[in-house]
Chain A
Amino acid sequence: MLGLNKKDATFLLIVVLLTLFTPIIMQPFAANSGLDQFNGGYPDLMQKVAIFGIFAVGFNILFGLTGYLSFGHAAFLGVGSYAAVWMFKLLTMNVIPAILLAMVVSGLLAVVIGFISLRRSGIYFSILTLAFAQMCYKLAYSVLTPITNGETGLQLALSDPRILDGTNESASLPVTNIFGLAMNSSYKVEALNRVFTFNVGFYFCGIVAILAFYIAIRLFRSPFGMMLRAVKTNQQRMNYMGLNTRPYTLAAFVISGMYAGLAGGLLAAMDPLAGADRMLWTASGEVVIMTILGGAGTLMGPVLGAGVIKYLENIFSKINESVLHSWFHWLPDGLEHAVVWVFARFTGEGWHLTLGLTFMLVVTFLPGGLVEGTRRIKSLMARLRRPKAGRTEPKADDQPSPFKKPL
């Protein structure tokens, strides 16, 4: 189906279903249960999970397949956002041209940065990309202020031309839409003591994410994807096999840059303003962490990593001291303060500490990321279920390799 083998098709179907039912899945706790704050089913978070999923999947095409670790992918995210907002200002509030331009512009930037950075590999490549991204960040604040609007960030204004949309009579700013359907419109359903929010913006992001994910699967299974994995393993052999590695790495770099640009464009489509903060090196570091946390080189890993980090970020930063006090009010006074003080270091503002610890634990004990974790649990369950059964030999023919990477 769709040029995928049965296993991949099933896998894609699961992703589609998960995306469709995200507003329900992410609302597991009843409204008045006290666990309400752990619900993640609000549009802003769901959109971010989808968008950063795209970002991480694209990053994984470069890092997971070729092994080139870019520390400058946030530059493409930021440039994509700027391009999209300019499209909203000049042409139309429809998101389609905006995200297309975002991909084109970030792709062009990726050609330039990649052409220079890919002359080096390893740590030098990482540093070069980092330098380029920081350069973009600084330029956005200085020389390019006419385009980026400096520290204020690029915003919509009533006086913008918006050639295709005609004149805007109302006194309020127009909203981003897709052929008239506003991105911020939501359909709320109250059921089972929960409020489920079905948001247009989220479904748009979700559909784009599924498309991006589908393309990534095809790419992973293609001869091109195999060549990229070969680049990671042995460049010398590639050269002595008559293959030129440079175009392969550059193509991977540009593709992943365009994924980042698409994610940036979508960020702007959900909330039409763009600031240079998106290009800061911490944003580049975030996508590296997402990919490694989920499992670099796997298909599902980056999406999983993006989802987990964005969810935890939103939930943990909401837990402030008063919330903690309400949790531990049953403790004796002195003890309560001590416990709250300790927990407060890891929540709210201090949530990065939790992220850092999680990351350290995963990298130390699960080098293959969360995907490896689920695989280990699976094999453990299988072993527990039939403790005395002998090892089954895989069939020689159609069985996939035992060494093949998991999904």
Chain B
Amino acid sequence: MGILEVKNINKRFGGLQALGDVNLSVKENSVHAIIGPNGAGKSTLLNCLVGKLMPDTGSVTFDGQSLLGRKPHEINQLGISRVFQTPEIFGDLTVMENVLIPCFAKRDGAFRLNALTSIAQEPDVRAKAEQMLIDVNMIDKRHMQGSSLSRGDKRRLEMAMCLAQDPRLLLLDEPTAGMARADTNNTIDLLKEIHEKRDITMAIIEHDMHVVFSLADRITVLAQGTPLVEDTPDNIKGHPKVKEAYLGETQQV
């Protein structure tokens, strides 16, 4: 029984069957990669998990609780954090403030009218945020504005923001999309470190085979909205069905 259980979910957009009878089980403390060619339904699946889309049929449970019909912030409060394809951070705020927000959200819940205390008077929250920035090597940049960071730093910052919430499950939507090789390797190392240090379960959607095979314990291959195979990386590499449907002739692993 995995921490995240997806059972028979279907999603239609008009005439297009985006997801058809998708089953997925993410085991606790594993790194589960979901791969597939463009249009395979990876992002639709992710959006169904975080409450952005509502699947037509089927069930999604996290740690025994159904996620269907819950709003994104409620799902997040259960312990699921999401990293976006393009880093979503607070561009007008400083790096420090960016991390302070999830720290406050973790402590105070979805809403609290703490309008008459000053941030300076919250040493616990500040200490936690600083620790997070140290963990991702960004403490030097804490006074910089979010929007002035480089793409790689934005990704690190977003990661720090997600980790500040002590999530149980981290969803990553193509965390290395559009990155240079060096940045990609840095991100892989960062993710590995996070996984080893914190025992966070991760579900990664990824295009880059290098990333997938360096990180994942288990891989699900999606094609045209249905799961093709689910297996360990070693078995996936040589799987004839995967080669045919996804890797094609051009890309060799």
Bin chain A's interface residue count: 35 or more
B37 within 8 A of partner (CB) = no
Contact B76 A230 (CB under 8 A): no
Interface members, chain A 237-259 (any B CB < 8 Å): 237-244, 247-248, 251, 255
The smallest C-beta distance from B20 to any residue of chain A, in angstroms, reads 27
Residues 67-118 of B contacting A (Cβ, < 8 Å): 71-73, 76-77, 81-82, 84, 88-94, 97, 100-102, 104-106, 108-118
B binding-site residues for A, Cβ under 8 Å? 50, 71-73, 76-77, 81-82, 84, 88-94, 97, 100-102, 104-106, 108-122, 125, 140, 143-146, 148, 161, 165
Q: Mark A382-397, 1 if CB is under 8 A from B, else 0.
A: 0000000000001010
Question: A223 CA to B104 CA in the complex, in Å?
Answer: 8
Closest 10 CB pairs of A and B: A242-B76, A401-B143, A403-B145, A224-B115, A247-B111, A244-B110, A239-B72, A233-B90, A233-B92, A237-B88
Give 1 or 0 for each of A1-29: 1 = CB within 8 Å of chain B CB: 00111000000000000000000000000
Contact A221 B92 (CB under 8 A): no
Q: Complex: how many Å from CA A4 to CA B119?
A: 10
Closest chain A CB from B235 CB (angstroms)? 33
Q: Please tell me if the beta carbons of A401 and B144 are within 8 angstroms of each other in the complex.
A: yes
With contact pairs A221-B118, A222-B116, A224-B114 given, residues A240 and B92 touching in the complex (Cβ less than 8 Å) = no
* A200 CA / B165 CA spacing, docked (Å): 53
Pair A251/B113 contact, Cβ less than 8 Å: yes
- Determine whether the beta carbon of B119 is less than 8 Å from that of A242: no
Contacts of B161 in A (CB 8 A): 237, 241
Q: Which of B73, B91, B94 is within 8 Å of A242, CB to CB? A: B73
Contact between B50 and A229, CB atoms less than 8 A apart: no
- Say how far A115's CB is from chain B's closest CB, in angstroms: 15
Tell me if A243 and B120 are in contact (CB < 8 A): no
Q: Is A207 an interface residue (CB 8 A)?
A: no
Most B C-beta atoms less than 10 A away, residue of A221, A242, A244, A396: A242
A234 contacts chain B at the CB level, 8 A cutoff: yes
Interface hits, A315-356 → B, CB 8 Å? none
Q: Which residues of A contact B50 (CB under 8 A)?
A: 240
Give 12 A-B pairs besides A5-B120, A222-B115 with Cβ atoms closer than 8 angstroms.
A3-B118, A223-B104, A226-B101, A234-B90, A237-B88, A239-B76, A240-B82, A242-B73, A243-B111, A251-B113, A255-B115, A401-B94
* Shortest CB distance B172–A (Å): 12
> Could you say which of B81, B82, B92 has the most chain A C-beta atoms within 10 Å of its C-beta?
B92
Name the residue among B81, B117, B143, B165 with the largest chain A CB count within 10 angstroms.
B143
Tell me whether A236 is interfacial, beta carbon within 8 Å. Answer: yes
CA distance A396 to B142 in the complex (A): 9
Q: Complex Cα distance A241/B80, Å?
A: 9
Indicate if the CB atoms of A241 and B165 lie closer than 8 Å. yes
